[in-house]
Structure formats: C-alpha cells, structure tokens
Chains A and B, each alone.
Chain A
Amino acid sequence: MQQYLILLKGKKELDYSPEELQKRLVAYRSWVAQIGDNYIDGQRLDKTGFHFRAKDQVLTDGPFLEAKEIIAGYIRIKVKNQKEAVQITKRLPLLDHFEAYLRPIIQHD
C-alpha cells in the first residue's frame, strides 16, 4: 500500500451559515465512511501562523487575510496505486470549498 497526502488550501470565501456547516460536516463524514480503510487520518490547521520565505524574513504572522491563502489542513490516505488515490480525492466533498494537492508520501522501508 502507498500513502498519499491530500493537502487542502482555501479557494474562496466560505459560506459559514449554520446550515451550510452542518451540510459540510455530513458530506465529509459520509466520504470518510465510504472510503473506509483507505482513510488513515486528517487534521485541520489553525488559521493563525507564520510564513517564512527566508531566514530573517517572516512574511505573515496570521491570521491570514484571505481565505485562499490558508492551508486549512491535510488528510492521509492509503491506497493501492495512484489511480485509486485520484479517484478517492475526486469524490472529496471539501473540493467545493478547497483546492487539494495530492502527493505520494515517499516511504523508506
């Protein structure tokens, strides 16, 4: 099995109405249930933080002003191959709100 990292980055201003939040929660949970054992873990990241571009150059000390600057979190999945990883990610409901980078994690055995 190969591990992949799905990295989520904001794409637009999010709709935070309570009803919308609930819909997002339900959609995400049903995705996780659907992919079953392919799911390893996931974490959200706080909106605040730092952006370093060079040794002495802290560019941002958050909160980030624009939703699209934010790396919102990551999800790890384990799959047979890249094809399966792509299929799973394509169905991720968070794609309505975020861009996703899908990258294989290089493993040393």
Chain B
Amino acid sequence: MIEMDKQLSAHELTDHFFRHSYAKLVALLVRYFGLSEISLAEDIVQDTLVDAMEQWSLQGLPQNPEGWLLDVAKKKTINSLKRQQFFLKKVVPEFQEMERLEAHFESGAIQHQDNQLRMIFSCCHPILAEESQIALALKTLCGLSISEIAQALLTSKANINKRLYRAKQQFRQGKFDFVLPPATGPSGQDPSRLTGVLKTLYLLFKTGYYSNQRKTSIQIELCFEAVRLQRQVLVTYQTSAVAQSLLAWMLLCIARFPGRQDQAGLLLPLEEQDRTSWDQRLIAEGINLLQLATQSNALNSYLLQAGIAAEHCLAPSFEATNWASIYQQYALLERFEASSIIQFNKAIARFHQGQQQQALIDLQSMKEEPSLKSNLHFQCALGLFLLHQKQTAAAQLHFKQALSLATSDQEKELIRRRISTQK
C-alpha cells in the first residue's frame, strides 16, 4: 500500500513540464532509433508520460522527475526492442546494442541540447512542405497534441494528421541527414539549412502572433514556444546576425503582450495600449540583441522587423513614436519581401509621420488588392485617412465595409471606437 507523503506538494512541476519533457525525450529517442522510427519514439514517450501522470498522482513527484522519465523511457525502449526483435534485424550482438543504449540513456541525457537542435533541423528540413514543417514542429518540438495543433492553426484534426503523415512518410524514406551544419558556412555566411530553420520558426511565431481572431491561450503559447526554440538555435549559432535579429524581433513583440488585450481578450490597437505594462526586461534583451545584430553591417528582413518593433517599444507614447524611422524601415523591408501588408503598414507610418495626404494616395492605390480588400484593418484605415481629408461620405463607405468584415461583436465595437475617437 502506498502512503501519501504529505510533503510532496512542496515541490511542484514547472509550467509545461510534460510538454517540454515530451519534446526532449522524443529528440533523445529519435537520435537513438533514427528519424525513420519517429512514430515509435513518440509512442514510447507518450506511454512514459501517462505512466508518470498515474504514478505521480498517487506517490507524489519523484526527487528528479526528468531522471524518472528517462529511466522509464529507457525500460520501455528495451521492451520495445525485444518485442520487435530489433537485435536480430540489425545483426548487432545484443550486448553491443545494450552498451549503445546504456550510453545513450546515461543520466542527464534528457538535457542534451544537441539532440533537440538536431530535431529542430529535421523538422524544418527543406524537403518538407512548409505547412508540414509547422505541424511537425508543434507536435515534435513543442509536444502539442493533434487537437491542440488543430486549434492553434485553426484547422481540422484530420488536416493536421495528413500533414504529419506526409512528413513522417518522408522521414521513413530516410532521405534525411542528421548532421548539423557548422556555425558558419563558406564565405562566412549562414548555412542555408539554418536559414530554413529560422524561416520556419519565424512562421511559427507569426502564426501565434497575427491572427485576427481573439487570442486563445494556445495561440499565445505558440509565440513562447517559438522563442524557446529560437533561443536553443542561438546557443549554437550565436554569431549569426540573422538568428540574433529573429530572436530580437520575437522578444520585442512578446514584450508588448501584457498590454495588447483588454479584459475580454480583444486585441487593443497600439494607441490604446498601456505602455507601462510592457515587459521592460524583454525589451532590454531584445534591444541588446538588435544592437549585436546591427554590428554585422548587413541588413536582413528580421533585423528590419525588429527595428520597427524596437521603435514602438522605446516610444514614450503613440504620438511621440519615431514614425519617420518606421517608414524608412518598411521601405527597406519591401526590398526583401514585396507584400501588400508591408505596403499597407508603410502607408500607416507615413500618415503618422505627417504626410497624411500622401498616405491616403498610397492606400487608394492598393485598394483593389484582393488581400487588402477583405482586410478590415485596411478598410478602417482607409476610412480614417479619408475622414482626415474631410471626405466624410467616402469614409463612411469604407467604415461600412470594415464593419461588414468584422467577425465578432467585439471587433465591431473596436471599429466604432476607432471611428469615434477620430472625429
């Protein structure tokens, strides 16, 4: 009979301990089995966590929870090898295989950064479709379940399963090298594989950061997960200005999370946010990284986005923001990726910089762009710019358009508020 230890509630698990342990253990097991056996690795880890939940419920937390998980995962791995007659297939003498396994599961192995980094590079492999990369990253690197991923990416579970299945098929075909690229490639540039990894983490962050929907906690967590992974990448590739820039941008974005939503969870426009609630520690870290990245004297698109975010973070108020600098950085950013959203943001910066008439002309020149036509923020901005030029009737049309695009009462309310504050 198990006696409850009354002191056990004294030590608690850290937030997301299970989720992150899942990711670490999968990375460790995949390193042992090979990428082709990723599903087996996932099953073993899942089983281990269920055991942990059941046993720790009754007996309390062990002294070293990670060590406990590692031990149980190791036992399950041995059982699985026996079941599958792995030794026979591999034509490796059993004692040699056991030696390899012991070495692999030495204590503390769960913490090996190297395994996790390899896993990051595998999940962000250019062979895989971008949408598969994101789903795989969430499953394998972040330990989210299928239904959590579906919720985060606003799609169905079946869809996520399909994406994961395709990715794992490719793993099974074994076309992947498991070698990490050196910190700097030929001619001092980032290795191309690193560029791909950064892109995926960038998209992962963006997925959590920009969705017009009301933020659910899972979407905000995507951003924190992206930051966590990006920090891991930076440990090895710390001299990469692009990697520094990306982390700087992420930090300068999440620093403003505390002021970004009202009590109902609705996103607040920048001018309504309480700037004193922004996280100064994250802002400082972001600015430091940004300065480091600038020393390389080469621009990259993350650096510009971080620069823009920095202007917002450092401005004492919305009005006192350095809009000229933001405008310039958007103009440079356009050279890296021509997108209508960047153009739109550039025009907004121009408006606040004092060139209201020019900004209106800019917006009007892009109003037939399909992606902007259906963007309620664009319609709303166009209305406001028109109103500023005393073109009230035309402004009303766009406000109406914006309201019709709103998907919730809160969004409508927000638009009405913006209109009324401008009059």
Contact = CB atoms under 8 A, between A and B. Distances in A.
11 contacts: A17-B147, A19-B16, A19-B18, A21-B18, A21-B53, A25-B52, A25-B56, A28-B57, A41-B2, A41-B3, A44-B55
A73 to B, nearest CB: 8
Given A17-B147, A19-B18, A20-B145, 7 more contacts: A22-B17, A24-B53, A25-B13, A28-B57, A29-B57, A29-B60, A39-B4
Interface of A: 15-22, 24-26, 28-30, 32-33, 39, 41-44, 73
Closest 8 pairs between A and B when the two form their complex, measured CB to CB: A17-B145, A18-B18, A22-B18, A21-B53, A18-B19, A18-B22, A28-B57, A44-B54
B49 A32 contact: no
Given A26-B13, A39-B4, A18 B145 contact: yes
Interface in B1-56: 1-4, 8-9, 12-13, 16-19, 21-22, 46, 49-50, 52-56
A85 B131 CA distance: 51
B50 A16 contact: yes
Interface of B: 1-4, 8-9, 12-13, 16-19, 21-22, 46, 49-50, 52-58, 60, 143-145, 147-148
Q: Is the interface of B mostly helix, strand, loop or mixed?
A: helix
B9 A42 contact: no
Nearest to B14: A22
Contact of B58 (A15, A21, A26, A43): A43
Contacts of B2: 41-43
Contacts of A33: 9
Contact of B49 (A18, A29, A30): A18
A32 B148 contact: no
